[in-house]
Amino acid sequence: MRYRNLLFDLDGTLTDSSEGIIKCAIYAFEKMGIEVPNMEELKTFIGPPLGDSFVKYGVAEADRSRSVDIFRERYIPIGKYENKPYPGMIDLLAKLKNEGFKLYVATSKPEKTAKEVLAHFDMDKYFDEIAGATMDGSRERKEEVIQYLLNKVDKVENDGDTVMIGDTAFDVRGAAEFGIPCIGVTWGFGDLNEMREAGAIGIVDTMEQLYEMVK
């Protein structure tokens, strides 16, 4: 077994959450009276901390928290369920779990919401630990979430048997902070060249390729 501990990103890696996140971002921009970014720009809201994305596309720094609160007005009751697991992902998780891999989630999505989404799809049972951001933003960047996870799961990063699996350069760089390599997936929303430049050890296009790479 090449790796034993597998750290998965959530949005863009385990599930396609684009519909809910984009609709809620549009809702927030419209409610704040700010011009809505184009669709390609809205897709960049999937993965990074929300506050950073709102500020990047026109929200004043002073309104960062307010923009996230408005986003959540729609996301918590509706948007989080406008979501679906990627085809073949549940089967892959079951296979990896049955073969003795330790599976974890490290996401910049609020931890409470991440657990609700994974439970909704009956995916939470595959993970030994689900680590996410705090609602108040005190823990939201990928490296902060990974540090939090490593603190909860003793020695998970030791012996070179841990790998991150994600769809953005944020995943690659966050894992690198702890000497953890990262495999990039192409079915998400990140830029493939950015993942390569950040140091991804490989890029995979299918669930089968991901399985072979962690083996």
What is the per-residue pLDDT across 87-121, written as a single tens digit (0 to 9) for each?
999 999 999 999 999 999 999 999 999 999 999 99
pTM: 0.88
Do 67 and 124 belong together in one domain? no
Do 110 and 145 belong together in one domain? yes
Percent of the chain past pLDDT 70, that is, above it, reads 97
Mind telling me the catalytic residues? 9
Do 29 and 117 belong together in one domain? no
pLDDT score of 160: 80
Average pLDDT, integer, range 134-153 = 92
Q: Which of 28, 193, 2, 8 is nearest to 106 (CA)?
A: 8
- For the chain, the average pLDDT equals 94
Q: What is the CATH number of the domain that holds 61?
A: 1.10.150.240
pLDDT score of 180: 94
Average pLDDT, integer, range 129-154 = 92
Do 128 and 203 belong together in one domain? yes
Q: What share of the chain is helix, strand, coil (3-state, %, to 5)?
A: 50, 15, 35
Average pLDDT, integer, range 30-41 = 95
Question: What confidence category does residue 157 fall into, taking pLDDT thresholds of 50, 70 and 90?
Answer: low
Average pLDDT, integer, range 182-201 = 96
Question: What confidence category does residue 45 fall into, taking pLDDT thresholds of 50, 70 and 90?
Answer: very high
Do 97 and 201 belong together in one domain? yes
pLDDT score of 179: 93
Cα dihedral 56, 62, 68, 73 sign: negative
Q: What is the CATH number of the domain that holds 204?
A: 3.40.50.1000
Do 114 and 184 belong together in one domain? yes
Do 131 and 177 belong together in one domain? yes
Which tops the pLDDT comparison, 47 or 167?
Answer: 167
Do 152 and 75 belong together in one domain? no
Do 49 and 88 belong together in one domain? no
| Domain containing residue 137 | 5-16+83-214
Cα dihedral 165, 210, 167, 46 sign: negative
Cβ partners under 8 Å of residue 151, min gap 6: none
Percent of the chain past pLDDT 90, that is, above it, reads 88
pLDDT score of 37: 96
Do 37 and 93 belong together in one domain? no
63, 81, 99 - which closes a domain: 81
Average pLDDT, integer, range 29-57 = 93
81, 97, 129 - which closes a domain: 81
Instruction: Please answer whether residues 24 and 62 qualify as being in contact, where contact means their C-beta atoms are separated by less than 8 angstroms.
Output: no
Average pLDDT, integer, range 13-38 = 96
Do 98 and 30 belong together in one domain? no
State how many domains the chain has: 2
pLDDT score of 25: 97
HSE-CB of 73 using CA atoms within 13 angstroms: 15
